Structure 1
Amino acid sequence: MQQRMTFEYSILRGQESNPYEIEPLQINVYTSEYCSFCSDALLISYSAADRISCVGTPVEVVEIPIDDRPSLIEELNIMALPMIQIGHLRIIGLPEPEDVERLIHEVILMGL
C-alpha cells in the first residue's frame, strides 16, 4: 500500500486552482517491513520535502513497499534498501537529510 504526503504551502483561501500549477516533484521511497532503516529514510524524505516545499516547489513523498513485488525489484534493479528515487537519480541506504535535499535540487535544476 502506497502512502502519499503532499506539502502545499502556496495555496491561499478562496484561490481557484491555477491551470499553470506545477506538478509536484515525486520522491519514491522503496521500503520493506524487514528493513530496519526504511522508516528513518521515509522520515528524512518527509523532512527534506517539507523544507523544499517552503520555497515554492511542491514535493510529494510516496512510500512503495516491495515485499510482495519481486517484479518491481527486478525491473528497478533494487539491490539494497532503503532506496530513494527522485527522477532518474537514486540514493541507496540511509542518507543524511542534506543528501536528499541536494538530490531534489539537482533534479529541479537539471530537469532529470
Structure 2
Amino acid sequence: MLQRMNSEQMAFRKLGLVFEQSENVRIDVFTSEYCSFCEDALEVARTAAGNLACLGSHVEVVETSVDAKPELIEALNLVALPLIQVGRSQIIGLPLQEDIERLIHEKLLMGQ
C-alpha cells in the first residue's frame, strides 16, 4: 500500500530520519486539582502532540491525577507538579511547547 508523505515527512526522510508508522509516543502529565499550572501544562502537552502528529506517529497525552493515586507521589519521587514524562525524560513545572516537542523527537529518534 502506498502512502502519501507531507512536506515535513519528506524533509525528514531526506535527512535520513524515517519514523515507523507504528511508533507510539505517550506523554504522561501528572496533575493535581490543587496545582495552579497543571491545566496549562496539559494544554501545552496536547498542543505539542497535535503539532507532531504529522510525523506519522501516534502521540497520546495521558493525564494522571495524583489526587486519585497518592502512591504515585512516592513511586515517582514527585517534588513538584505538574510533571510531564516522555519515556524516561521528565519536565517538572510548566513546560514550553518546544520542550515537550524536543522530548518527543528524542523518544522517536533515540527510543528514550
**Pairwise TM-score range, normalised by the shorter structure:** 0.7 to 0.9
Runs (4 or more) in structure 1 with deviation over 6 Å come to none
Alignment of 1:60-99 (within 5 A): 60-99=60-99
What is the identity, as a one-letter code, of the residue corresponding to 1:30? Answer: F
Cα deviation for residue 68 of structure 1 reads: 3.4
What is the aligned length? 94
> In proportion to residue count, which structure has more helix?
2
What is the identity, as a one-letter code, of the residue corresponding to 1:67? Answer: D
Cα deviation for residue 88 of structure 1 reads: 0.4
Alignment of 1:1-112 (within 5 A): 22-112=22-112
Task: List per-residue Cα deviations over 1:40-75 (Å, max 9, x = no partner).
Answer: 000000000001112211100000000132211101
- What is the CA–CA distance in structure 2 between the aligned matches of 1:62 and 1:68, rounded to whole Å? 14
- What is the CA–CA distance in structure 1 between the aligned matches of 2:109 and 2:30, rounded to whole Å? 24
Cα deviation for residue 24 of structure 1 reads: 2.3
- What is the CA–CA distance in structure 2 between the aligned matches of 1:28 and 1:68, rounded to whole Å? 15
* TM-score, with length taken from structure 1: 0.78
Residue pair 2:24, 2:58 contacting (<8 A) in 1 also: yes
Which structure: larger Rg? Answer: 2
Gap regions ≥5 residues in structure 2: 1-19
RMSD after superposition: 1.6
Cα deviation for residue 23 of structure 1 reads: 4.8
Gap regions ≥5 residues in structure 1: 1-19
